[in-house]
Structure 1
Amino acid sequence: MDSDAWDERYRAAEPVWGTAPNRFVVEQTGDLAPGRALDVAAGEGRNAVWLAERGWRVRATDFSPVAVERGRRLAAERGAEVDWDVADARTDAPEPGGYDLVLLAYLHLPAEERRRALAGAVRALAPGGRLVSIGHDRSNIEHGTGGPQEPSILHDAAEIAADLAATARDQGVALDIGRAGTVLRPVRTEGGEAQAVDTLVVAERPGERS
């Protein structure tokens, strides 16, 4: 889907995924001291606003102007300060080494475009920083519920980890992959509660945080 299609989707429902943060964002960032965070493809800002409320200085980007405007509105309603930008994860050039946390939550792209987005994320990660990637796992089509139904854009933990390791080598930086696997997420459906299968990959750049 291009940005115009996402604009239409965001206009059709408010909000699309609710305003509570993703459970894995909470799980994987709750132990970190606040610093600078980059939320890539932030959508309507539920994770960015939650991080800002906990003291993070957040830059949130999305290629949908409608999503960014909704994110600004949510932040204003909750008194959270977030730096919002309309930007495409495939081409955005965030500040190198500028972020203690880089979050990519449910960014689904074809393999080559995904690698470009991951390369930007690794480049943005500061020494001592953490990168968190969450997405719908490829097995979710058969064994889970919801999410995209196109296998080519769904996540595989081993592929994400390999892409991160490869781009780190290309950039000449160290990156430790601490976790790469699938996780289950309860989802309420019309037929009752079901389970979605997600991919969670967590990596850290060695070094001392500034």
Structure 2
Amino acid sequence: MQEFWNERYQREEYIYGKDPNEYLKAKLKNLTPGRILFPAEGEGRNAVHAAKKGWQVSAFDQSEEGRKKALRLAEAEGVEIDYTVSGLQNLSFKEAQFDAIGFVYAHFPPQQRQEFFNSAHKYLKEGGKVIFEGFASKHPQYQESNPAVGGPKEPEMLFSEEEIKNSFHDLHFLEFFEGEIELEEGAFHKGKGWVIRFVAEKKK
């Protein structure tokens, strides 16, 4: 997968655009800036947006090409982000380090994502928030009619309500949505898709 993403991010264009995810953008407006983590951050659009809003940003991805584009975007916008090229097994974050974690289309293989979802609780401070958006199990029907909407081709890479609520059972869900949305995120997230969105809080 590392080679796949490096090849994809080598394009000059920002394939998911330079603007942040709309759900993340809306939810950050309601939070006091602190420290935030972005797993699988790709080309940096969400990390840079958070930094512009006063957040201290950490991010990681397996793609060096994604990191290069993220840092270029941050420089162009006059902000700094801490961006590491790393897999899930090599993370060195501290317990209770973050006020928020933004999972935006962070699609890992099931075993790997379960490992990180389980550890998200320890990375969050008490009262910290998880903001999440990702493609859900009904998404393939949208891919069939419109390949430009993007998303994983493998069903096991998609999310279900049961999995999400089991994985984050130790957090308090403030809102939860599963359904159809309209995506306008660069050339690779364009059109109607089926997603899960939620905000959850680490209990005090």
Bin of the TM-score, shorter chain as denominator length: 0.7 to 0.9
The answer as to 2:48 corresponding to 1:44 is no
1:152–1:105 Cα change, 3 Å: same
Q: Which runs of 4+ in 1 moved over 4 A?
A: none
In 1, distance between residues paired with 2:90 and 2:162? 24
The answer as to 2:183 corresponding to 1:187 is yes
In the alignment, which residue of structure 1 is the partner of 2:3?
4
In the alignment, which residue of structure 2 is the partner of 1:176?
172
In the alignment, which residue of structure 2 is the partner of 1:147?
151
Normalization by structure 2: what TM-score? 0.88
- What's the CA shift for 1:74? 0.3
Higher RCO (CA 8 Å, separation ≥ 6 residues): 2
**Unaligned residue ranges in structure 2 (runs of 5+):** 144-148
Matches within 5 A, 1:156-171: 156-165=160-169, 168=170
- What's the CA shift for 1:180? 2.9
- What's the CA shift for 1:158? 2.5
Counterpart secondary structure, 2:193: strand
**Unaligned residue ranges in structure 1 (runs of 5+):** 169-174
Counterpart secondary structure, 2:54: coil
Equivalent in 190, 196, 202 of residue 193 of structure 2: 196
In the alignment, which residue of structure 2 is the partner of 1:171?
none
**CA RMSD, aligned part only?**
2.0
1:75–1:179 Cα change, 3 Å: same
In the alignment, which residue of structure 2 is the partner of 1:100?
99
- What's the CA shift for 1:100? 0.3
Normalization by structure 1: what TM-score? 0.86
Identity of counterpart residues, as a percentage? 29
In 2, distance between residues paired with 1:187 and 1:54? 23
- What's the CA shift for 1:91? 4.2
Matched-pair contact (CA < 8 Å) for 1:35–1:100: yes
Q: Deviations over 1:71-110 (max 9, x none)?
A: 1110000001111111223542421101001111111122
Instruction: Report the count of equivalent residues.
Output: 196
In the alignment, which residue of structure 2 is the partner of 1:71?
70
